[in-house]
Amino acid sequence: MGNSNGKNITRISISLPSDLLASFDRTSRKAGFTDRSKAIQTAMRMFISENEWISGDESSNGAGLIELLYDPHARNIEKTLTLIQHNYYHIVNASTHIHLDDDNCLEAIIVRGDARSIKRLAKELAENKGIKSVKVNFIKVI
């Protein structure tokens, strides 16, 4: 069965606990979805991106955000983070820095490229003294 953008559509049937479906529908509406199918498609794409990232499909291309929480008092931390990002100029598109309080800063680094390089960058950033938390959100281009 085709749709207006030329993609094939397959209808499926699934079994779910009623409370799970009710919670999904409620959350979908709060998120602005008026179409359950569209909400499920979005959830499935997120599931695929997240799990392919975890499972090691390093050849996939995508975009994402690396979030770093760090201690600004750690020796040379800002200089170190900047130098590392410069070494990955081919995937780092932008970054921003937020002062949360006296002992915590948040660095948000927007990246685009292959998963292998993004993983290496995140690992290299995480290995520095003063880094408290690293979170990577990667979206595979599907």
pLDDT tens sequence across 10-28: 999 999 989 999 999 999 9
Report which of 2, 138, 127, 142 is spatially closest to residue 58, judged by C-alpha positions: 138
The mean pLDDT value for 116-133 works out to 94
Number of domains in the chain: 2
Is residue 9 one of the residues assigned to a domain? no
Residue 91 lies in a domain: yes
Q: Considering only CA atoms, which of 113, 123, 56, 58 is closest in space to residue 84?
A: 123
Type and span of the H or E element at 79:
helix 77-87
Cα–Cα distance, 55 to 132 (Å, whole number): 24
24 plus 69 within the same structural domain: no
Q: What's the pLDDT at 99?
A: 96
Task: Provide the pLDDT confidence category of residue 48 given band limits of 50, 70 and 90.
Answer: confident
- Is residue 10, in this structure, part of any structural domain at all? no
Question: CA-CA distances (angstroms) from residue 6 to 2, 3, 34?
Answer: 6, 6, 22
Looking only at the bridges linking them, the beta strands covering 92-101 and 61-70 are unpaired
**Residues 85 and 130 placed together within one structural domain of the fold:** yes
By DSSP bridging, strand 104-114 and strand 61-70 are antiparallel
Q: Give per-residue pLDDT as tens, 55-96.
A: 666 677 889 999 999 999 999 999 999 999 999 999 999 999
Give residue 42's domain range.
Answer: 18-55
> What is the rounded radius of gyration, in angstroms, for the C-alpha atoms of the chain?
19
CA distance 74 to 82: 14
Task: Check if the beta carbon of residue 140 is closer than 8 Å to that of residue 48.
Answer: yes
Predicted TM-score (pTM) of the model is 0.68
Residues 38 and 107 placed together within one structural domain of the fold? no
The DSSP bridge partners found for residue 113 are: 62
CA 93 remoteness from chain centre? 15
Q: What is the mean pLDDT of residues 25-49?
A: 90
